[in-house]
Amino acid sequence: MGCCTSRPTPPTGEEAHAAAIPIPPNSSSIAAINAPNNTHSRSASHVSAHSQRAGSTSSRPNKPLRPPSPVQRCPPERALAPWTPTQLAREREAFFDTRVTGDPAVWNALKIICEMLRAGDVSGAQGVMDAVGLTCPTGRIKSEKPARGAVREGERRKGGVFDEQGRGYDIPGWVVGDPDDLVEEPEMGDGGEKGVESDGESDEDEKGKGREGEVVKVRARLSDKGIDVVVEVGIEQKVRLLVKRLQDKSGGKKMRLLYLGKILKEDQSLRDQGWQEGHVVNALVFE
């Protein structure tokens, strides 16, 4: 007669390998893969537990995304006078940089979704929504709260987005669409600021004529397949070139790269954005 103590059976080699691969699509897997390779095994149990919760997402109210509705004016609580396009872009950046509630990875995904909706790419925005497990009960991500005060018990807001844990994310209309009362930029003389670099830069421009730096191997995990793709790129080269090479190996689909929960800026290098060799980046893939 003795007490029986059960212990979990250690996973076999094949089981451990399978557990280390995230189960797309969900937002928790985004956080899990933005870590060095040696942390994957420790996150396996978290991914497994999350996959059991993910099934509840399909039971929540959800409608396909629709184009953003018109925005009549700049928000009076933030704008003393109508914004210029440059001021609007600055305010949008500030909005996403100052979010303190919810999941940072979800906010990064929502930033991409808003950019796509403004560009008219509704299907691409829907693909990102599905990839990170977000739902939208009305089909419009713009949130409309009661005029004053917090949401009272029994009173529902209109619009908005929810993550897999049921947390709501409020997005003002001016973040999704351009207000109708925007004013033109002031005239700039010959000594004004130079334009932004064209997205159509050639590989030779990206290399910076020999300033590509040390060539490193970058491992990216694709959200649509859950597989890793490895490409080589110069540590000083812009992320835009890394995206191009990943697209060449993954069927040419659109993608955005995330590292440690932040969107990688395509006009900056990996080194400038703190990437460390051996770390995995997340590739949000969409149609």
Who's near 64: CB < 8 A, 6+ residues apart?
126, 139
Q: Is residue 113 part of a domain?
A: yes
Q: Is residue 108 part of a domain?
A: yes
Q: Residue 121 is part of which domain span?
A: 85-146+154-176
Handedness of CA 223, 227, 231, 234 (dihedral sign): positive
- pLDDT tens-place values along the chain, 287 residues long: 554 444 555 555 444 444 443 434 444 444 443 444 444 434 333 333 444 444 455 678 899 999 988 888 898 888 888 889 888 998 998 899 888 889 988 999 999 999 999 888 898 899 999 988 999 999 989 887 555 554 444 445 567 899 999 999 999 999 999 999 888 888 765 444 444 444 444 454 444 445 677 889 999 988 888 788 999 999 899 999 999 999 888 888 888 888 887 888 888 899 898 898 889 898 888 76
Both 262 and 226 in a single domain? yes
Q: Is residue 169 part of a domain?
A: yes
Both 140 and 209 in a single domain? no
Q: Is residue 210 part of a domain?
A: yes
Both 168 and 215 in a single domain? no
Q: Is residue 227 part of a domain?
A: yes
Cα angle vertex 255, ends 251, 260, to 5°?
A: 130
Both 96 and 170 in a single domain? yes
Who's near 216: CB < 8 A, 6+ residues apart?
232, 233, 234, 235, 270, 277
Both 214 and 164 in a single domain? no
Distance CA 130, CA 136 (A): 10
Both 172 and 241 in a single domain? no
**Is 31 within 8 Å of 46 (Cβ atoms)?**
no
Query: Any idea what the CATH number is for the domain that residue 241 is in?
Result: 3.10.20.90
Q: Is residue 22 part of a domain?
A: no
The CA–CA distances, whole Å, from 62 to 11, 54, 78, 120, 285 equal: 37, 14, 31, 20, 21
Select from 202, 209, 228, 226 the least CA-distant residue to 217. 228
SS3 call for 220: strand
Both 164 and 224 in a single domain? no
Both 170 and 242 in a single domain? no
Backbone angles phi, psi at 138, to 5 degrees: -105, -10
Q: How many domains does the chain have?
A: 2
Query: Any idea what the CATH number is for the domain that residue 133 is in?
Result: 1.20.225.20
Q: Is residue 62 part of a domain?
A: no
**3-state SS of the chain: helix, strand, coil percent to 5?**
35, 15, 50
Both 171 and 91 in a single domain? yes
Distance CA 277, CA 230 (A): 12
Q: Is residue 273 part of a domain?
A: yes
Who's near 195: CB < 8 A, 6+ residues apart?
none
pTM over 0.85: no
**Is 206 within 8 Å of 241 (Cβ atoms)?**
yes
